[in-house]
Amino acid sequence: MMTEYETRHAEKDQPSSSACPVCNTKAGSAFFDLRHVPVFCNVLWVEKTRAAGAAKGDVKLVCCEGCGLIYNAAFDASKVEYAPDYENALHFSQRFQIFAEQLAEGLIERHGLTGKTVAEIGCGDGYFLKQMVKAGACKGIGFDPSMERHDKRGFVGESVEIVPKAFQTGNLPTHFDLVICRHVLEHLRDPLGLLASIREAVGKRQSALYFEVPNTTWILESCSLWDFIYEHYTYWTRSTLGALFARAGFHVLETATGFGNQFVMIEADTSEHAEASVRAEADAKEQVTVCQRFGKAAKRHLDRWQHELGVFAGSGRKVAVWGAGSKGVTFVNAVPAALEAVACLVDLNPRKQGKFVAGSAHPILAPERLAELQPDVVIIPNALYEQEIGAELSKMGVEAELKTLQ
Ligand SMILES: [Zn+2]
């Protein structure tokens, strides 16, 4: 008889046995692999040696032939159960703040939420709920088990309450008019299960839903392979997200893309029962082809960066990466030459500064430090921030060559 470890290990070596979490179709062959990447890109380490020893896992991407869903067939849910010192807040960027403000105002207007109650699953420190209250909602209640380790007093205002627990059907407030869930679905082992439990909690009442996830169509089209990270088990498109909501019994009002095409957003409600979309199955074949094309291009992309960083290291040019988010962390881990070529990562978020990147163990510094470091090359993982970063560098008197990862 196999031990639990051996069973898990055997499963990992046979990713084809891992079926689609939505339609249960047996996994086909993988179209792209990233081996030994950090399990948690956004967990930062105070000690360099511990950063280097951080847990790693494989990303083996398959596209479901039944429904077109893209997921990591080598995903081991037990590896991601507990994330210490999780730091994934996007709202330090001004561009993101503007996006969140406009989104909140739009939701309030479209769903008539002035004076109403909104709930958020995976609310983090409550930033977006505060935006919703500012835009007109009367109360926001959020669920996030990662808030358990924080000092709650800093997070609870008069109108925003954070429950430091995972969402469960029974802990939703008696009255709620909108359920928000941003950048959570892609982490879950059972995404359909979450939707089904919300559907059950809503029951016969009227409620709207707003979900937001990374836009996989954009990732594939722009060959942004750094967006495939271990923490994300599933990868959604407008088509597969719409089909999931329909499958769970929601009426899809709209699917859209936003934030420079990097997010997929869906708005749904309970106004009528919908059958699971058959369109998704027709789209699945096309999606498989798109994925295979991406796999080839992504391998070439990796090789090109390996070569380029090798040249920088050989010529003694100093390289810094601006942005210690998932993309930057995946980049310095996925390209072996980064170990020698990249001097540091910088990030605006003060909670990241002074810490070390999981896996590659690069230091993360405050952007101001670039004035003394005077790098020759600054790599920008997210092209959306190129202008913002370019302006900051000029202010500091840093004349570096800017390169974006896209
Ligand atoms: Zn499927």
Q: What is the pLDDT of residue 385?
A: 87
Distance 389 CA to ligand 1 centre (A): 40
Q: Which two tokens stand for residue 188?
A: 């879950």
Dihedral sign for Cα 249, 254, 259, 261, please. Answer: positive
Distance 111 CA to ligand 1 centre (A): 31
Distance 74 CA to ligand 1 centre (A): 16
Residue at 142 is within a domain: yes
Rounded CA gap, 227 and 297, in Å? 15
Q: Identify the bridge partners of residue 178 per DSSP, sorted by sequence position.
A: 118, 208
Whose tokens are 């948690």? That residue is 40
Distance 27 CA to ligand 1 centre (A): 8
Residue at 280 is within a domain: no
Q: What is the pLDDT of residue 128?
A: 94
Distance 71 CA to ligand 1 centre (A): 9
Q: What is the pLDDT of residue 96?
A: 84
Give the mean pLDDT per block of 10 residues along the chain (406 residues).
38 57 90 92 90 94 95 92 58 80 96 95 90 93 79 61 83 81 93 93 89 96 93 95 93 94 94 58 85 96 96 96 94 95 95 95 97 97 90 95 90
- Same domain for 105 and 212, yes or no, is yes
Q: What is the pLDDT of residue 320?
A: 98
Distance 165 CA to ligand 1 centre (A): 30
- Same domain for 146 and 46, yes or no, is no
Residue at 24 is within a domain: yes
- Same domain for 130 and 224, yes or no, is yes
- Same domain for 112 and 212, yes or no, is yes
Cβ pair 231, 202 in contact under 8 A: no
Distance 338 CA to ligand 1 centre (A): 36
Distance 265 CA to ligand 1 centre (A): 20
Distance 244 CA to ligand 1 centre (A): 10
Q: What is the pLDDT of residue 10?
A: 42
Q: Identify the bridge partners of residue 70 per DSSP, sorted by sequence position.
A: 63, 235
Distance 86 CA to ligand 1 centre (A): 30
Sheet order of strands, 377-380 included:
364-365, 342-346, 319-322, 377-380, 401-404
Distance 280 CA to ligand 1 centre (A): 9
Backbone phi, then psi, for 388, in 5-degree steps?
Answer: -55, -45
Q: What is the pLDDT of residue 18?
A: 87
Distance 309 CA to ligand 1 centre (A): 38
Q: Determine the structural domain holding residue 22 and report its residue range.
A: 4-86
Rounded CA gap, 167 and 201, in Å? 11
Distance 345 CA to ligand 1 centre (A): 38
Helix or strand run (H / E) with residue 389: helix 386-396
Among 334, 336, 329, 335, residue whose Cα is nearest residue 344: 329
CATH, residue 386 = 3.40.50.720
- Same domain for 142 and 226, yes or no, is yes
Q: What is the pLDDT of residue 24?
A: 92
Distance 19 CA to ligand 1 centre (A): 8
Distance 315 CA to ligand 1 centre (A): 48
Q: Which residues contact 206 (CB under 8 A, 6 or more apart)?
A: 177, 269, 270, 271
Rounded CA gap, 396 and 374, in Å? 10
Q: What is the pLDDT of residue 204?
A: 81
